[in-house]
Amino acid sequence: MGTRRSFLAGALAAPAVVSGRRYSAVEIGRMLARGDVRGRLSKEDLPTPALLLDLDAFEWNVSRMAEHLRRHGLAFRPHGKTHKCAEIARRLIRAGAVGCCAAKISEAEAFAREGIGGLLITTPVVGRDKIERAVRLARRRPDTIFSVDNPRNVADLDEAARAAGIRLNLAIDLHVGRRTGVMPGEPALRLAEQIQSLRHVRLAGLQAYAGHASHVVGFERRRQVSREAMEQAVHTRRLLESKGIPCPLLSGGSTGTYNIDVEIPGITELQPGSFIFMDVDYNRIGGRDGDFYGDFRNALTVLSTVISKPSADTAIVDAGLKAFSTDKPFPPECRTRQGISYSFAGDEHGRLTLSGEARRLELGDRIEFVIPHCDPTVNLYDRIYCVRGELVEACWRITARGMSQ
């Protein structure tokens, strides 16, 4: 039996084998910290659990959505709440996006600090602290658009903008889903008239997110739910314009409805998020031509390591409740190997039930999982490793991780 000293000596003498070169764990840690990984590391070298982005799939998803919206003459303002990553926002803008949506002010601030413009904050900014921050953000990025659904909030924003000597762009958030928003039609018109009457706010248009439509299972049913919701938004836009109130923007839509909302005249831009990554939840909603929604490729996975093998048909991996979001009723899915089914086994552990060839899994084997729900999973990680095949090509910071204020 080896001593602790001989074990340590062995570990230090046998660093990772990497693309023909060998690096120690310390060297790998330094490279990862610097983000200087291109061509040096492979998936095998990554400390797990690790969040992986398959660049081929990601690039394919981005160009598919960008091309789809270009073809239909709609603007593209993908939602940054999905990735929270400035580098991804930059790549989307390079692919033709007019900017980036942010769910909250802190997320928008993080993007702005990284030079991302064309921000649309899709949640109302309420309260003294948030309004102060909104004014600061608008000074830095005057094209930022803030969503509003309440006359008092509009008055507060106008007052803060007056005191700062600036003008804020507002989008009226319509209640076409199950969350925030003023009712479409007359109530929205009254809010628009209030905005028109004030000097320090300007109406950019309408924000209408029908979140209840995005995951409706079955294409035809989803089309019906999205149409019912978004037609109220289009009607409101026409109502405002019929009263002489310009309304150049009507932003909405999601990954689940991207090919439905483009058929509704009057919507000016889409703000999908999950399409860049995809997840188990979206795969299950069904596409135009089948039960599996495969319009976009699964680009996001979590890489884990087998750390225990209690029996031939059970293995334990190092990825548990802290490695995946747990808000869905289904577990992560291993799609790279047959015969593995995952169940949560605690904060740091996942239990694999093995059958067939998978019973041969050994300690140290790497297993990759498609995750149940992308947005909250990304928020669990500081960085995302970008891979092409087995090689790690880049390491991007999740710039706005944890920024939910």
Q: Which residues bind ligand PLP (CB under 6 A)?
A: 79, 81-82, 122, 209, 211, 214, 254-256, 271-274
- CA distances for 55 relative to 94, 260, 264, angstroms: 15, 27, 32
Report d(CA 307, CA 317) in Å as an integer.
5
Minimum CB separation of residue 282 from ligand PLP in Å reads 7
Minimum CB separation of residue 375 from ligand PLP in Å reads 7
Q: Token digits for 50?
A: 């690790």
| Choice between 67 and 186, CB closer to ligand PLP | 67
Minimum CB separation of residue 103 from ligand PLP in Å reads 6
Minimum CB separation of residue 290 from ligand PLP in Å reads 19
| Choice between 254 and 301, CB closer to ligand PLP | 254
Minimum CB separation of residue 345 from ligand PLP in Å reads 29
Minimum CB separation of residue 275 from ligand PLP in Å reads 6
Minimum CB separation of residue 371 from ligand PLP in Å reads 13
Task: Give the total residue count for the chain.
Answer: 405
| Choice between 104 and 141, CB closer to ligand PLP | 104
Minimum CB separation of residue 251 from ligand PLP in Å reads 8
| Choice between 211 and 294, CB closer to ligand PLP | 211
Minimum CB separation of residue 328 from ligand PLP in Å reads 13
Residue type for 215, please?
Answer: H
E strands, 119-225, are 119-121, 145-148, 168-173, 201-208
Count Cα neighbours of 291 within 13 Å in the Cβ-side half-sphere.
0
> What is the DSSP secondary-structure string of 266-286?
T--EE---GGGT--HHHHTT-
- Whether the CB-CB separation of 333 and 267 falls below 8 Å is answered with no
Q: Which residues of 281-302 are buried (b: 16+ CB within 10 A; e: fewer)?
A: bbbebbbeeeeebebbbbbbbb
Q: Token digits for 307?
A: 């750390």
Residue with tokens 């031939």: 312
| Choice between 271 and 305, CB closer to ligand PLP | 271
| Choice between 232 and 274, CB closer to ligand PLP | 274
Which of 388, 359, 253, 342 lies closest to 49 in space, CA to CA? Answer: 342
| Choice between 356 and 402, CB closer to ligand PLP | 402
- How do beta strands 314-317 and 350-354 pair? antiparallel
- Whether the CB-CB separation of 351 and 319 falls below 8 Å is answered with no
Report d(CA 169, CA 116) in Å as an integer.
17
| Choice between 28 and 208, CB closer to ligand PLP | 208
> From the CB of residue 95, how many other CB atoms can be counted at a distance below 10 Å?
16
* Sheet with 75-76, side-by-side order of all strands: 75-76, 269-270, 249-252, 201-208, 168-173, 145-148, 119-121, 100-102
| Choice between 179 and 235, CB closer to ligand PLP | 179
Burial of 202 (0-12, 13-18, 19+ CB in 10 A): middle
Residue with tokens 């340590």: 8
| Choice between 209 and 369, CB closer to ligand PLP | 209
Minimum CB separation of residue 269 from ligand PLP in Å reads 11
Count Cα neighbours of 66 within 13 Å in the Cβ-side half-sphere.
16
| Choice between 226 and 255, CB closer to ligand PLP | 255
Minimum CB separation of residue 296 from ligand PLP in Å reads 10
Task: Using only the alpha carbons of the chain, give its radius of gyration.
Answer: 24
Residue type for 89, please?
Answer: A
